[in-house]
Amino acid sequence: MPKFDYAPAPESRSVVSIQPSYGLFVDGTFSRPRALFPTVDPADETILAEVSQAGPKDVDKAVAAARRAFDGAWGSMPGAERGRYLFRIARILQERAREFAVLETLDSGKPVKETRDVDIPLAAAHFFYHAGWADKLEYAGLAPTGAALLRPYGVVGQVIPWNFPLLMLAWKVAPALATGNTVVLKPAETTPLTALLFAEVCQQADLPAGVVNILTGDGRTGQAIVEHPGVDKIAFTGSTEVGRAIARSIAGTAKRATLELGGKAANIIFDDAPIDQAVEGIVSGIFFNQGQVCCAGSRLLVQESVHHEVVARLQRRLATLRVGDPMDKNTDLGPINSRAQLDRITTLVEAGIAEGATAWAPECTFPGTGFWFPPTLLTGVSQTHRVATEEIFGPVLSVLTFRTPAEAVAKANNTAYGLSAGVWTEKGSRILWMADQLRAGVVWANTFNRFDPASPFGGYKESGYGREGGRHGLEAYLRGAAG
Ligand code: NAD
Ligand code: MG
């Protein structure tokens, strides 16, 4: 097969201006930078900026500011007025989309093709969608006896991960504000920069001081937010381990929580599926964002009769993926977000090989610096292998087989998680039957990794509880709401 090389198509770094250091965003203003730690570009390990580690006193100040804003005007502001702020934020995100996309790519390693076409447009879409709800909450069908029973919680503490930095912020902040809550949010320690740029957007939109507060820092800051007595509700996205610790720490208090945790989704290919389309779906299912996606299709279940064909076509397709500089507009896979995550992926793949799986990856050449891992297939995987049970959170696909639909369901559900699943088949009746049997919050049929603000997202079992997005997502931010 002839191989065509693409000419370099670099996006410009000059559309963003990154300050050498950042303070915390509390009560509408940035504090003086203090207790600094660096955030790097994972493609080359250069330091992009230094951000402040928020301590308990900063959390006190942010929670107090959020409380004042809630009691002051925000909590009782008419929905139509709140909606106006959300529309304004959404429009500014669109206007500054290129700046956000470039900054997100630099700070996280996500290919600019993805930040430009997925992360930033979806973040804006979440604000537009929730802006529309702000004055219609009484019609959301959440409280049969009337809107008077629906009330915001007050101050919401939100902690988010590094794999979709701005998008996770949008998933958290947009519904919280639409329902009249105020927010103290902590971005992940490796990807704080778009959250800090979002703070500027809040200023630009004239959002009242204290409605959104952004505290940078590591897990200690997150823990201080979660444990703060002035916080009424917690919304967390991250690992199951930390989710468990949060659930334990708020047990017995009046605090409510929604937890969006890990996943180990099955992507199920029946022998009547359109194989070329399925291969594209498998690729976007596990190699989108280098596989660092909680709902990634990380377990491929292929019907035995098409196993060889699917694996062969996948290998051919993987050889055409472009792995490299995430700022290049043609790049399909960028670097892994951090050295710690790269080490975790490497350890798990080594464990898979030691347990008997066969690893395959196309030839890739990587620069000497940065956190790189090639798109990898693991075949000969059995259900007890660590690579079939533990979340790898990287560009690694574990391939298993099945013979009957019942076996596919049993294997797909044989996991501690339950966030998502995919089904590929020509038969509509089988899709419906499978969707009914699969214990997963989202089931995609003949597609994978599709997101829409109107569609609720969330898990079963160790993938957490509560839903984000859609009408169901509003429920988590309103007292008196019952689906
Ligand atoms: P993590 O749980 O270590 O960190 C997530 C966030 O929690 C970070 O901001 C971190 O600073 C903070 N944190 C760490 N310890 C804390 C504590 N004790 N108290 C409060 N906050 C604390 O996870 P990670 O390694 O950054 O992210 C990867 C994980 O997140 C994966 O397991 C993935 O599946 C999960 N994830 C889930 C979803 C979802 O929607 N379900 C989305 C993205 C990521
Ligand atoms: Mg970074």
**CA–CA gap between residue 413 and residue 359 (Å, rounded):** 24
Determine, yes or no, domain membership for 2: no
CB of 223 sitting under 6 A from ligand 1: yes
Exactly one of 114, 189, 294, 295 is catalytic; name it. Answer: 294
Q: Taking Cα atoms as reference points, which of 14, 33, 13, 10 lies closest to residue 23?
A: 33
What pLDDT does residue 481 have? 81
In contact, 90 and 128? CB cutoff 8 Å: yes
Q: Which ligand is nearest to the Cα of residue 190, counting in written order?
A: 2
Q: Print the domain residue range for 326.
A: 266-445
Exactly one of 260, 391, 462, 475 is catalytic; name it. Answer: 260
For ion ligand 2, residues whose CB falls within 5 Å: 39, 107, 190
Determine, yes or no, domain membership for 307: yes
Determine, yes or no, domain membership for 4: no
Tens digits of residue pLDDT in 421-480: 999 999 999 999 999 999 999 999 999 999 999 999 999 999 999 999 999 999 999 998
Q: What secondary structure letter does DSSP report for 327?
A: T
Indicate if 249 and 312 belong to the same structural domain: no
Indicate if 305 and 186 belong to the same structural domain: no
CB of 259 sitting under 6 A from ligand 1: no
Indicate if 295 and 390 belong to the same structural domain: yes
CB of 175 sitting under 6 A from ligand 1: no
Sign of CA dihedral 464, 239, 184, 469: negative
Which residues are within 8 A (CB) of 194 and not within 5 positions of it... i.e. 6 or more apart? Answer: 100, 103, 104, 107, 165, 166, 169, 187
Taking the CA atoms of residue 350, residue 357, residue 448 and residue 434 in that order, the dihedral angle to the nearest 10 degrees is -130
- Token code pair at residue 63: 């929670």
Q: What is the CATH number of the domain that holds 354?
A: 3.40.309.10
Determine, yes or no, domain membership for 5: no
CB of 239 sitting under 6 A from ligand 1: yes
3-state DSSP assignment of residue 212: strand
Phi, psi at residue 443, to the nearest 5°? -125, 120
DSSP string, 341-374: HHHHHHHHHHHHHHTT-EEE-------SSS----
Determine, yes or no, domain membership for 6: no
Give the mean pLDDT of the chain.
96
Indicate if 281 and 397 belong to the same structural domain: yes
Determine, yes or no, domain membership for 70: yes
Q: Which ligand is nearest to the Cα of residue 246, counting in written order?
A: 1
CB of 188 sitting under 6 A from ligand 1: yes
**CA–CA gap between residue 265 and residue 310 (Å, rounded):** 18
Residue 1 banded pLDDT, cuts 50, 70, 90: low
CB of 376 sitting under 6 A from ligand 1: no
Residue 147 banded pLDDT, cuts 50, 70, 90: low
Which residues are within 8 A (CB) of 274 and not within 5 positions of it... i.e. 6 or more apart? Answer: 424, 426, 446
What order of strands is seen across the sheet that includes strand 155-159? Answer: 29-30, 25-26, 212-214, 182-186, 155-159, 233-237, 256-260, 464-465
Indicate if 68 and 103 belong to the same structural domain: yes
Q: Give the number of domains in the chain.
A: 2
Q: What secondary structure letter does DSSP report for 457?
A: B
Residue 482 banded pLDDT, cuts 50, 70, 90: low
Q: Which ligand is nearest to the Cα of residue 45, counting in written order?
A: 2
Indicate if 225 and 291 belong to the same structural domain: no
Give the β-pairing of 47-52 and 299-303.
unpaired
Mean pLDDT throughout 127-145? Answer: 91
**CA–CA gap between residue 44 and residue 102 (Å, rounded):** 15
Could you tell me if residue 291 is left (phi over 0), alpha (psi between -120 and 50 degrees) or otherwise beta?
A: left
Indicate if 251 and 366 belong to the same structural domain: no
Does the annotation count 294 as an active-site position? yes
Q: What is the CATH number of the domain that holds 254?
A: 3.40.605.10
Q: Tell which one of 51, 158, 159 to mutate to probe ligand 1, the residue whose CB is within 8 A of the most ligand atoms.
A: 159
Determine, yes or no, domain membership for 117: yes
| Protein residue with its CA nearest to atom 3 in ligand 1 | 239
Indicate if 237 and 275 belong to the same structural domain: no
Q: Which ligand is nearest to the Cα of residue 165, counting in written order?
A: 1
| Protein residue with its CA nearest to atom 15 in ligand 1 | 219
Q: Taking Cα atoms as reference points, which of 335, 296, 392, 414 lies closest to residue 111?
A: 335
User: Measured from the CA of 226, which atom of ligand 1 is nearest?
Assistant: 20
Indicate if 293 and 251 belong to the same structural domain: no
Would you say the pTM of this structure is higher than 0.95? yes
User: Measured from the CA of 463, which atom of ligand 1 is nearest?
Assistant: 41
- How many Cα atoms sit within 13 Å of 152 on the Cβ side? 26
- How many Cα atoms sit within 13 Å of 361 on the Cβ side? 16
Mean pLDDT throughout 225-253? Answer: 97
Does the annotation count 426 as an active-site position? no
Q: Tell which one of 168, 228, 239 to mutate to probe ligand 1, the residue whose CB is within 8 A of the most ligand atoms.
A: 239
| Protein residue with its CA nearest to atom 25 in ligand 1 | 239
Indicate if 107 and 253 belong to the same structural domain: yes
Query: At residue 396, what is the residue type?
Result: V
Indicate if 282 and 239 belong to the same structural domain: no
Determine, yes or no, domain membership for 455: no
CB of 219 sitting under 6 A from ligand 1: yes
**CA–CA gap between residue 249 and residue 125 (Å, rounded):** 33
Find the range with the poorest average confidence among 131-145, 189-203, 261-275.
Answer: 131-145
Tens digits of residue pLDDT in 243-293: 999 999 999 999 999 999 999 999 999 999 999 999 999 999 999 999 999
Tens digits of residue pLDDT in 9-43: 999 999 999 999 999 999 999 999 999 999 999 99
Indicate if 350 and 219 belong to the same structural domain: no
**CA–CA gap between residue 260 and residue 239 (Å, rounded):** 8
